[in-house]
Amino acid sequence: MNAFAQTPETGFRLPDPDFVPEELQMLRAQVRRFVETEIQPHAEAWEEAGEIPRDLFRKLGALGLLGMQHAEDYGGTQMGALASVVFGEELSRSTFGGVTAAITVHTDMSASHLSRVGTPEQKAEWLPRICAGEVVCAIAVTEAGAGSDVAGLRTKARRDGPGEDADWIIDGSKMFITNGVYGDLLIVGARTGGEGARGLSLFLVPRDTPGVSVAQKLKKHGWLSSDTAELYFDNVRVPASALLGGENRGFYAIMQGFEHERLMIGAFSAGEGAKAIELTLDYVRQRRAFGKTIWDQQATRQRLAMLASQVAMVRAMVYQTALALDGGRPVSLETAMIKSTGPEVLHEVVHGCLQLHGGTGYMRGTPIERMARDARILRIGGGATEVMLEEVAKRI
Q: For residue range 299-326, what is the model confidence (pLDDT) as tens digits?
A: 999 999 999 999 999 999 999 999 999 9
Q: With bands split at pLDDT 50, 70 and 90, how would you rate the model's confidence at 11?
A: low
- Of 128, 88, 56, 63, the closest CA to residue 262 belongs to 88
1: pLDDT confidence band, cut at 50, 70 and 90? very low
Residue pLDDT, tens place only, 83-95: 999 999 999 999 9
**When comparing pLDDT for 198 and 237, which is higher?**
237
Q: Looking at the predicted structure, is the pLDDT value of residue 4 above 90? A: no
How large is the average pLDDT for residues 186-193? 95
Q: What pLDDT, in 10s, does the model give residues 240-290?
A: 999 999 999 999 998 888 899 999 999 999 999 999 999 999 999 999 999
User: In DSSP terms, which residues pair with 67 in a beta bridge?
Assistant: none
> What's the pLDDT at 146?
80
> Which residues are 189's β-sheet partners?
202
For residue 163, name the pLDDT band (cuts at 50, 70, 90). confident
Instruction: Answer yes or no: 48 catalytic.
Output: no
- Per-residue DSSP letters for 327-380? TT---HHHHHHHHHHHHHHHHHHHHHHHHHHGGGGGSTTSHHHHHHHHHGGGGT
Cβ-contact 287, 361 below 8 angstroms: no
243: enclosing H helix or E strand? strand 243-244
Of 75, 74, 99, 72, nearest to 87 (Cα)? 99
Percent pLDDT > 90 in the chain is 88
For the chain, domains (ranges, CATH) are: 22-136 (1.10.540.10), 138-247 (2.40.110.10), 252-395 (1.20.140.10)
- C-alpha–C-alpha distance, residues 274 and 346, integer Å: 9
Output the CA torsion 60→65→67→71 (10° steps): 140
Residue 3, pLDDT score: 44
CA atoms within 13 A on the CB side of 59: 14
What average pLDDT does range 344-354 have in this prediction? 98
89, 143, 261, 272: the active-site residue: 261
Per-residue pLDDT, 13: 76
How many CB atoms are closer than 10 A to CB 149?
12
